[in-house]
Structure formats: structure tokens, C-alpha cells
Structure 1
């Protein structure tokens, strides 16, 4: 990137750079972000009457495009440049237009100084640097392949098998000998003592089963295979056993990455899974819309059902029915004694539609009953997680009658507990962040001290660093969740380097090129959410009730607002009332557009109607703001606000009722890591307009099967919706065309079958990698433990002391 700076300085554009730098120095703000920089440059080009070519194609315009931030430091400018995804450089541009590179440490010091937190006389601040621990691991080179970690890892492992076949074949042999279920040995027994014997016996076994009818059940030739040294786990029919053995034979003789993945994915090694999600109200009824409770509950419950089904299918295909093997899945969450009418005070709850999947609730220890008897905000639960993990280990061992084979963490708190459990139980740990608060709250790390009373980001960001580095593999819903886009920084990328002034500097918080990252998008529950055209499957008995609720019911306890003309096209959204979900922004967009009001009614399903019913400060603020917008723009008769918690079946039918009237769905979040409601709306057949900030960019193909909106520009958002409505008026089939493409998009890419198959395959391959690579993680884990015990735990204890005072 220094070449581009030099190109500017060695051309007649040097004068333009001097002029623009002078404009920047006059700004009241000392810290400018990319959108502000681009806006200032556009104003500069307009005011100085620059040509279109200069604005789009000059060296200076290209440089400005790559500048992510500018910090104004006295008379010098610090340019933080992102020349490509997952890469950052910093330069100091002096008043005389000379420049010099800045180290990460210098940049972090400058940010501290910007907020008045840099005091050289106090000594240096703690530096956290994880990079040395990744230097001995394989690393992806091309940013386009970030998020495809397992594909890279398979190629790496198969190359090792090829380069040093004896060592790696011995490792593969020993790995196969590990696997047991309860008291039963799986795959190979003591009749096969060496790798060479394994290779010979595989060929013998292939000869045996190839002579059998392809569909002959495994139990009919089980003991012949056992004589050769093969225990259950190879397949349920002669054909399946033959396929598995042939894949292994090929892997031994001529390994490649596809063969390696195909074989390891067939190994029966996962039977018990624990999913961890401590915060919020985790239940199956009457919880959605409560504080901290939304998409993650839907996601996890649907994921559990998919995992159990896939595990059962894998067990059957492996021929383990002969051992009476059954999968078990447990969602670990916290027990809330004051349950407010939910089931969150029940220790154990069977998950609907499953054979052996459960919600296991473990209470927080009663350090302060006034706190632990009740719901606790996700920002406040940090003091209770360490002892929760200790107590949960005992409960999990009892329920599984052993230990799980895989632990999946959810959100920052769940991932921290997953780390603590996986460390103690010595099992594979998977992280799923869903959303990282650091990306959602601008400058949250820089001004953490000002926000600490409310959000406790010092604990949360430390927990994130611990869990994401400790995890064996990380699942993200989208590529940009990891490394963003050319225009924006990814959630994980934001942890690469940052400062928590007066607490620590993160020099390297995560290696984005590590093969631990994998993109595995979630699915949608197809039994609840399906196209509105499937009339025979719909809840026809509930249709009239839901129609009445959405459009005409007069019940102040559940609904605010009546519609003057219920027949107008419904503009629909459903989310929690918090700042990031931005339903108030959608209401403001509607209020500012008379044309939208003429053509549509705005229908919002959004939690509570009254501030006195909530204990969440963000929800209270958004309730007040929504009333204010309705009154300010005189939206009475045009808006219905439903303060209801829908049963899951009802929520699916609600989308379809809106689709019956050729309505549209709008998801106006300021940031959305993924967006399950988008999938739900699209599969129901609703044309969907979703935020361009976050995961929706990868779900929707703009103007093909949905539409992008910028929720920070309400007038522009209204215009995009109006353009769609105009096309619908001009072409009677346009609504159906977008509707059909929306449905097709979900079925082709976003199903739980695709998700769970991939997730289990990943868990097996990373388990194999951790064993066969002999990777020494002890040094990293000691470093992580130091952060936990010396940074996290003291701050958690300090917060606990605060809780005692409440």
C-alpha cells in the first residue's frame, strides 16, 4: 500500500492530498471512519470541481477507498489502510506530506492517547499476542479460502500422509483403535496389531463382502468380519461395508484430501453432544421476545433436532444397531427459579419431536439470591459462569453416563463455558458466536470504561479471546462474519488487534488464516416454515385467529393501533425491540414516506407494549421511541404493533398469512450476523428486504430473490421498497417471481440437513487432526489459562461484589 501513497506523492495529485488533509484537520471529530472519510472526499471533489475520472480513478481516490480509519493526531494524520480482506497497515502522514509506517503497538498507543488513556509514566500495558502459537500450525494463504478451513486441512493432512506414509499410516491405525461405545470396541480389535496387518486385512475383508449380495444386512456376516479383526462401525449392509473398506484401502495406498474426508466422515465417533447456551430464557414455549431471547433459541432447538436425526442416520449406516447404539443430545442452559410462567425452572425438559434430546438446566450458585433467583442480562452473567461450568460437568456426566463427544458453545458466554468444560473433559470444542457484541457497539473497546457499568465489555471481550483461540474449530454462518467484505471489517477480524485502554493491548488476538474457521450456514425448520402455497399443510384452524390478530383484533393488552384500511398491502417485520434490530428505524422510514403509507400498512410483532413490563434498559428505550415515532408522524390508523409472544407454529403461519395478501418482509437491523427471520420469511414466499450490514449479503442475491436496504438511510430504504411496489403494479406476476426465487434459494442452500451433515463431518475431521498431527496445544492452553485466571477471574469477582450491593 505504500506504493499507492508514493504514487500520489510523486504525481500532481500531491496538491490534492495536501488540500484534502487540510480539510480533515479542520474536522471537529478526531477519529473518522470509512463512511465519513468517503463522504468528506466526495464533498471535496464536488467543492473543488474535480472530474468524474479523478473521483473514481485517480491514485488519491484509490487510496481513499482503502482507508478504513483516520485518526487526527495534532498536525499528523494516521491512516489505517485495509488493502485487502483480513489485512491492515497503518501509516503516519506528516504535515509536510512525508509518511512513515506505524507498528501495531504505536497504533494502539495512539488510540489510547485519543481517549486520554495513554500515560507513559505509568509504564507499559499488558500485550496479548496469540500469533506465536499459530506459527507452528498450517495456515491458509489466500483470503478467498478463509472459512474453508477443513478443505485446506484435508489437503494438508493428505499431503503429510503421502510425504511420510509410514508415520501417518501408523497414526491412522492407532486412531482407528481408539473408538469405543460404552463397553463395546468399534472398528478394529486386537486381531489387528499393526498398520501393515490392517492393510492386508482390509483387502481380505473387501474380498469377503464383495462376494455377498449388496443388501445383505451386516448382522448376517458380522462374525466373519470379526474373525478378520473388524468390529461394528463399517456399515449396515455388505455394499456399505465394502464402500467404507475400499475408501480406507485407497487412503492407505494413494491418499488425497477428498478420500481422507470421505473416510473420516464415516467413522462412528460422535454419539453424545452437549450444546451450551447459558443466557436468556431457554425454553420451547413462551420465551421468544423476552430480553436476550430470540433467534439463538430457534437456531439451537432446530439444530438439535437436525443433529439427532443425522446422528441416528449415521449410526444406522455404520451398522451400530447391532449394539443398540442411540444418540443423545443435551442443551445446557441455566435454571431460573423465578420462571415468570416459563419452564425455565425445570431441571430437565424433553425437546419436542426428538427421541433423546433434552434441555438440561443448571442453576447459578446462590452467591446473591436477589440476582441468581431471577433472569440475569447477558451483560451481567459473567461472575457465575466458572462455577456454573463446574456444576454442569457433574450434571452432564450423570445425564450422558459418561462424557460428551463434542461440546458446541453458543455466544460469548456459552463459548466460555464450552472452553471450561472441554478443557476439563478433554473433548472437541466447537464455537458458534452468532454475533459478537464488539462489532455491534461502535468503539465499544476504545470507550469500554465509559460503558462498563452497563455492558461489562472487559469481561466479554476477554471471554471471546479465550474461547475463540481455545476452540478446536469455529463455525460461522457467513464468510463476512469472519473477515467482512472489501468495504467492512468482519466480526472475528475486529479481534485481530485492538486496545482496551488501561487494561490491555491485543497485538494479535486471532489468526484469521487458521484452518479452524468454517462457514456452515444454518437451516430453517421446514415443518414450521414452508411456502404459503402449500395449503394442505397449513394451520387452517388457526388462520382466522391469526388474520384477526394481525389486522383487526381490538385488544389493548396485546395490540396497539387499529388499521383504517386493513386491505392495504402489509409491510411486516418481527424482532425483539432492541437498538440493533432497529424496528424503530423501520417505523421512522414508514413515517417519513407518505407514498409508503398510501400503499401499505406497517405491522410489527415486537415484544412488549409497555415500559413497566420490561426490565431491559434497551427494550424500554425502544418502546418509548416507537410510541414517539407513531405520534410524531401521525401513523395512527396505519400501524399495528403486536406485543405478543407467538407459539412457534403460529409464527410460521403468520408469515404465510402476510404472503396471502402479497405482503413483504423487512429486516431493518443496523447489523445482523446472519438472520434466521430472513430465511423464515423467504421460505414462506415473502419478498424480503434485509439490511446490507452483515449476513444477509450472503443469503440474498440483490434484486434476484430479495433486496438489500441500508437501514441508516430511511429515505433510500423507502425508495427501494417503493420501486418494488411500482414493478408489482406494472407486472402482475412480479411479486410471485420474487416469491418463487426466495423459496428456491432457501431450499437449495439453507436446510438443517446440509448444516448438520457438515457440522458432524467437521467435528470428526478436527478430532482426527488433533490426534494425528501431534499438535502441541499445551503452550497455547497455558497462555489461555493465564488470561482466564489473571484477567477474567478477578474482573468477574469484582462484578460479583457489585451484585452483592444491589
Structure 2
């Protein structure tokens, strides 16, 4: 049997043909890389099947192709689209609240033997987050490729004058970095494009382990990118570009990228405009994606184009610069060749460049480069010796490099030949896929086999009790009242139609003592210690499988030591509030922004732990793999109970984890204001009443105890 591989590529617009590269900030080089990788893998005898999971989009503003649930890429390869979040197209920063929904759907999908892959390969932070959840819940090995990393983006933008609040509002940068940490902590293999990524970017993450990282440079399709034009494509490119240019025969400075700030295109225009040498010797050609109505562009794109237009005006570059409004993807190789035949240069002035696939495409076509002295271009130049690097944050340094690179035709010819030869030798898709599959085979043998959970039938013979076909999960600490309340009496009468589960941050003995006052039927399951302990039935049988699962990489003493000197900010709660998998603290100043400090300290000490704030004053530090949300999903998997047949109640700060994904959720009327952020979630009902009356209102809304729930109908 060959490999079965599943790739997660969640944002942007992804299809098997006519990629809309450059359409927006989310449809760039990563999209092309994933498509080419999947095609190349499908052609190998070692691979039985390879699929890409992406988002299903129903939006009149984009092609109907993206609304097709299934699409073929090649024999043995396809695209599977899953709907999560709103139907319309969303930029990637708006997808975070909906990723749990996708993870829940994929767990169900991948449980079927015919769908289960040998590896999951997650691309970018959003897919890394989902991939980590799938790997944790199903025991499938995970490969992670970040493509670009949040910490590096944050560093660059702050250095450029941005502020933290702006980064949060625009890029959700904290959520992105947290997702990357989670993905790296779960990844069995991290594939990077360059050594610099490992040494200077990934190494800044607490979850990164250098022994799990491998450098595998992307490949170039030699069938498309090669020297030597044909007459028809030359005429086509000339028709695209020469109407802009007074002297179209001059060697062009060619840039091909998306119109986003990171690509730093205005700096190239300014360097060209300020240099009499460059204006006399070259034309400037900018291929920045396709644009229709500027009003439909993202603000970042509009800003970049406006900067370019202003600079063209300021330096009077009309007749010397071309920026076509439309082009086809299949014209890109011809544009490289057109530039090479005029002895031009390919320019990549990006502020940060994780790899730079366009540099390899240009080199394969015989076009030398001037590129940013960052990341991938360093590795490419070291192997190709086909141009110059420049500090693109220094306007004069970029200008000097461009003037120098175009000054010697004999050297240009040597660079051109070097690039063609080196790409063929080092950067072919054959070389990339051979290395990729060798790593898969090697790591698969080293990966620990997943723990097989016993079925409900097997487990019940050991004293555990199945959970029935519906489970109501109530928070003992916030949603249950005193035993004389009318709502509690109504609930007692209704609980003969479903199983009861209790959630609590308390220990099991403390939770039992509090629960005894309510005179309710015995719960089928107890999830206590903020999600770190699961017990069943009256005998309080612990779930040892859950303990073993969350105990991976957990070092309680190490966590306590890492936080020991923060006594000005936090103090340990009483011993009875602690647990084997939980450290509980009280915050000395509730208005203090304590979570970033705690996360930083845990990351610096390489602790696989996560802090969670509750009710503004209380801080729990748990294993990375533990939470109430994960405990609920563990129960669903172990007992074969669909998440849609669970109803969960939320009301407090810290309950956000309960509100995402497939379970029916009720947010009580007296909820913490932070939960208002979840009002757009599709499977959340905001009750008008508080505590138990609100619970009963939610039960009625979902018809949870009788008939088919509205919640279930919404899933079809």
C-alpha cells in the first residue's frame, strides 16, 4: 500500500486550474506551491491518494468553482471543500472563530477507514491549528509548513512603525502566533524552505524542536519555466506591456508579486525614480496581480497601488513603467523569458521572504535577480550565483544594487547560465518530492502509534457507563442554583430523557459535595479540574486514557518553577484547588494584562502548557492538550456520541472555548461581555434569561429533549 496524504490549505481561493494568484493577500505563492506539490505527489508510485482540504465558498463575487464540494486535480488527487463560517469569501484573519467547526467536521470524516490518511500536512497557521487538533484527537502524524510566520511578521511591522493594537486589529497576530505554537508543539515534522527559517524564525517559538525540522526547498516546473521564447508568446507579452513604454527594447527591471505591504514594491519604484542611471538604462515592469474595480480591493491593496501611482507622478515615470491591469497566470513564464531576452533583471524587494519561488522561476528562465537580503534569497543565491542581494530597507543600498547588477553584460550572461543550470540541479520538483517522500517514510517509522481508545462496549465491561444518545453538560460553578428553585425542579423532571454531565473547575470531591445539594440525578460523567480530569458514574471511575493523553510533555514541577518568581502578579491557590494536571493561581490585580506574560514565560522555559483566565481573578495553567473543550471531544470520540447531540452551557470569562465548533451551545443571559464576540457563530443560542431558566430556554430552543433539534436541522 502506498501513502495516503491529506493537505490542509484553508484560506484564499484554491482550485485545480487558473489560480487567481495575486487576486488578494491570501492568494499567493502558497496556493501555487500546494497545487504543484499535490500534482507531483499524485504522479509518484509511492502515493495512493493525496487530497487537499480547503474552504467551500458560496459568494457571487467569486467563481462558482469554489462552491463545488469535490474537484479532481489529477488521477489520485483531488480537492475536498468543507463549509465553515459564513458562506461568503473571508480574508484569513476572519476565519479564526470558525476553525473549531472545521476540525469537528474533519474528525468525523477522517474516522472512516477509507478517508484516514497516513499524514496530515498543514500549510500556514490556520491549517496548523486545525491540523494540531486532528493529530491530537485521531493520532494521525502531522507535518507543518508555516510559509510565513507571525512572530517574524510582527517583528518587521513593529520595526516599521506599527503598534501592537493595530497588528491585533488588522492581523489577529496573537491568535496566529498561538496557533503556530500549537502546531509546532504537535508536529512530527516541520518542513521549511531555508536554513534561515529554522535558525532565525522557527527557533523563536517555544514549541519548536530543531530535530523535527527539515529543509526541503520548493521545486520549479521545468515544463513551464525554461529559457527560450516562441514568437507567439513574445507577441502576446509585447501586446500586454509595450503600450506603456516609449522604448520597449530597454532591459526591464521586472517585479512579480501581490500588492501587499510586505512585498515593498513602492521602495522599488522610488529607487527607480531617484536614479538617473536606472531611468536611462531600464524600464520598470510591475506585475502585481489582476485588478478590476479599485473599490472592491482590500484596503492594503488600494494603499499599495496608490503609493505606486503617486510615485509615478512624483518622478514623472510615464513611458518608463508598465503595470498591466490584467494578465493570465499562463503568461507569467513568457513574461520572465521576455525580460531575459532583453537582458533584464528580476527584482524581489520584499521586506521578508520565507523562500521566494518567483526567484527560482525567473532563474529557470535565464533571468538574473536582485533580491532582499533575507530568508530564502540567501539560500537561492548561495546555490545559483545568479545576482545580488540588497538591504531593501535602505533605499540607497537597493538603488546601488540595481545599478551595479545591470552594468556588466558579460557578468549578466554568466548569471543567466548559472541560474538555469542550478535550478535544474537543485530545485526541480522531482528533487523536492523525492526528499519529501523519503522524510515521510523515515518519520512514519519513528512516530509513536496512536493510542487506540476502547469502544463503549469494551469500556463498559470495565465499569464505565455509556453516555446514551444525548448529553447535557452543565457548569456546576455558574449555571446551577439552589435546590429550592423552580427551574431546578423542572430540570429534574426532564433529565430522564438525556444523560447529565457536569463541568467544573473544582476537584471531583469538591464538585460532588456541591452537586449533592441540588438533588439531581447522578451524572453520567464528571469533567473536573478545568477539564483535566474525567470520571464516570457514581463509582467515580477515572478515565486513564484521558490522563495519559493530556500528560504528553506535561511537566507540572517545571511549570511551577517557570512561574515561581511572578509573585508580584500571581499567587498559588490553596492545595485543595490544585491537581496533578492543573496549577491554579489568583491574580493580584485583575486589570493587569497577565496572560501575555505567562505565555512568554512558559514559552521561554519550553513548557507544553497553556494558561486560562477565569472570572478575571483566577488563572489555571493546564497541559497543552487539556481543556474542557478537548475533554468534550474526547468523550464524543470515545463513546461514539456525535457532538451535535451534546448541549453545552457557557456564561463566564474563559468559556469561549466551549462556544466554538459543532455542539449546541447556550450562552446564559447574565454572561460575561467577552462572550458577545461569539454572537455570529452559527451554533450558539443567546438566552434571554440567566442561570437555570436560561438553560431551560436553550433546551427548548434546540428541542434537545424531544423531536429533532433545530440545531441538527441547521447542519444538513
Answer whether TM exceeds 0.5 for this pair.
Answer: yes
For the residue of structure 1 that corresponds to 2:7, the secondary structure is: strand
Is the 1:593–1:715 contact (alpha carbons within 8 Å) kept by the matching residues of 2? no
Is the 1:522–1:752 contact (alpha carbons within 8 Å) kept by the matching residues of 2? yes
Is the 1:397–1:403 contact (alpha carbons within 8 Å) kept by the matching residues of 2? yes
Is the 1:463–1:792 contact (alpha carbons within 8 Å) kept by the matching residues of 2? no
Shift of 1:383: 0.6
> Residue 286 of structure 2 is aligned with which of 599, 604, 609?
604
> Residue 617 of structure 1 is aligned with which of 294, 299, 309?
299
What residue number does 1:289 align with?
A: 22
> Residue 401 of structure 1 is aligned with which of 114, 121, 143?
114
Does residue 349 in structure 1 map to residue 71 in structure 2? yes
What residue number does 1:361 align with?
A: 81
For the residue of structure 2 that corresponds to 1:565, the secondary structure is: coil
Higher helix share: 1
Shift of 1:715: 2.0
Does residue 660 in structure 1 map to residue 356 in structure 2? no
Does residue 474 in structure 1 map to residue 190 in structure 2? yes
Shift of 1:402: 3.1
For the residue of structure 2 that corresponds to 1:736, the secondary structure is: helix
> Residue 551 of structure 2 is aligned with which of 779, 791, 806?
779
Is the 2:263–2:349 contact (alpha carbons within 8 Å) kept by the matching residues of 1? yes
Does residue 491 in structure 1 map to residue 172 in structure 2? no
For the residue of structure 2 that corresponds to 1:337, the secondary structure is: coil
What residue number does 2:586 align with?
A: none
For the residue of structure 1 that corresponds to 2:382, the secondary structure is: coil
Distance 1:799 1:358, change over 3 A: farther
> Residue 763 of structure 1 is aligned with which of 440, 456, 466?
440
Q: Deviations over 1:632-687 (max 9, x none)?
A: 1111111111222422x321122112112121100110000000001100111001
Alignment of 1:717-756 (within 5 A): 717-728=398-409, 733-756=410-433
Q: Which residues of structure 1 form unaligned runs of 5+?
A: 1-180, 182-269, 316-326, 366-371, 484-489, 496-508, 553-561
What residue number does 1:279 align with?
A: 11
Distance 1:744 1:433, change over 3 A: same
Q: Deviations over 1:747-771 (max 9, x none)?
A: 1211121111111221222221123
Distance 1:632 1:737, change over 3 A: same
What residue number does 1:26 align with?
A: none
Aligned residues: 476
Shift of 1:708: 0.5
Alignment of 1:561-580 (within 5 A): 562-580=244-262
Does residue 637 in structure 1 map to residue 319 in structure 2? yes
Alignment of 1:100-249 (within 5 A): 181=1
What residue number does 2:397 align with?
A: 716
Q: Deviations over 1:297-345 (max 9, x none)?
A: 11011111221223x1x37xxxxxxxxxxx1110111011115343212
The CA distance in 1 between the partners of 2:3 and 2:325, in whole Å, is 41
Shift of 1:548: 1.0
What residue number does 1:151 align with?
A: none
Is the 1:687–1:706 contact (alpha carbons within 8 Å) kept by the matching residues of 2? yes
Is the 2:384–2:418 contact (alpha carbons within 8 Å) kept by the matching residues of 1? no
Distance 1:627 1:328, change over 3 A: same
Q: Deviations over 1:418-471 (max 9, x none)?
A: 112222332111001111022023277995444322221221111111111111
For the residue of structure 2 that corresponds to 1:786, the secondary structure is: coil
The CA distance in 1 between the partners of 2:384 and 2:226, in whole Å, is 22
The CA distance in 2 between the partners of 1:795 and 1:447, in whole Å, is 30
Does residue 300 in structure 1 map to residue 34 in structure 2? yes
Distance 1:614 1:691, change over 3 A: farther
Distance 1:703 1:635, change over 3 A: farther
TM-score (ref. length: structure 2) = 0.62
Is the 1:610–1:623 contact (alpha carbons within 8 Å) kept by the matching residues of 2? no
What residue number does 1:510 align with?
A: 207
The CA distance in 2 between the partners of 1:702 and 1:709, in whole Å, is 17
The worse-fitting range, judged by mean Cα deviation, of 656-665 and 675-684 is: 656-665
Shift of 1:523: 0.7
Shift of 1:494: 2.6
Does residue 526 in structure 1 map to residue 236 in structure 2? no
Is the 2:351–2:372 contact (alpha carbons within 8 Å) kept by the matching residues of 1? yes
Higher RCO (CA 8 Å, separation ≥ 6 residues): 1
The CA distance in 1 between the partners of 2:346 and 2:676, in whole Å, is 42
The CA distance in 2 between the partners of 1:602 and 1:465, in whole Å, is 41
The CA distance in 2 between the partners of 1:607 and 1:544, in whole Å, is 20
Q: Which residues of structure 2 form unaligned runs of 5+?
A: 452-547, 555-622, 631-653, 662-673, 683-716
Shift of 1:582: 1.0
Is the 1:592–1:715 contact (alpha carbons within 8 Å) kept by the matching residues of 2? no
The CA distance in 2 between the partners of 1:747 and 1:765, in whole Å, is 26
Is the 1:349–1:360 contact (alpha carbons within 8 Å) kept by the matching residues of 2? yes
For the residue of structure 2 that corresponds to 1:580, the secondary structure is: helix
For the residue of structure 1 that corresponds to 2:101, the secondary structure is: helix
The CA distance in 2 between the partners of 1:676 and 1:541, in whole Å, is 26
For the residue of structure 1 that corresponds to 2:624, the secondary structure is: helix
For the residue of structure 2 that corresponds to 1:739, the secondary structure is: helix
**Pairwise CA RMSD of aligned residues?**
2.9
The CA distance in 2 between the partners of 1:575 and 1:796, in whole Å, is 36
Distance 1:645 1:410, change over 3 A: farther
> Residue 235 of structure 2 is aligned with which of 544, 547, 566?
544
The CA distance in 1 between the partners of 2:104 and 2:549, in whole Å, is 22
Does residue 701 in structure 1 map to residue 577 in structure 2? no
Is the 2:84–2:98 contact (alpha carbons within 8 Å) kept by the matching residues of 1? yes
The CA distance in 2 between the partners of 1:466 and 1:577, in whole Å, is 30
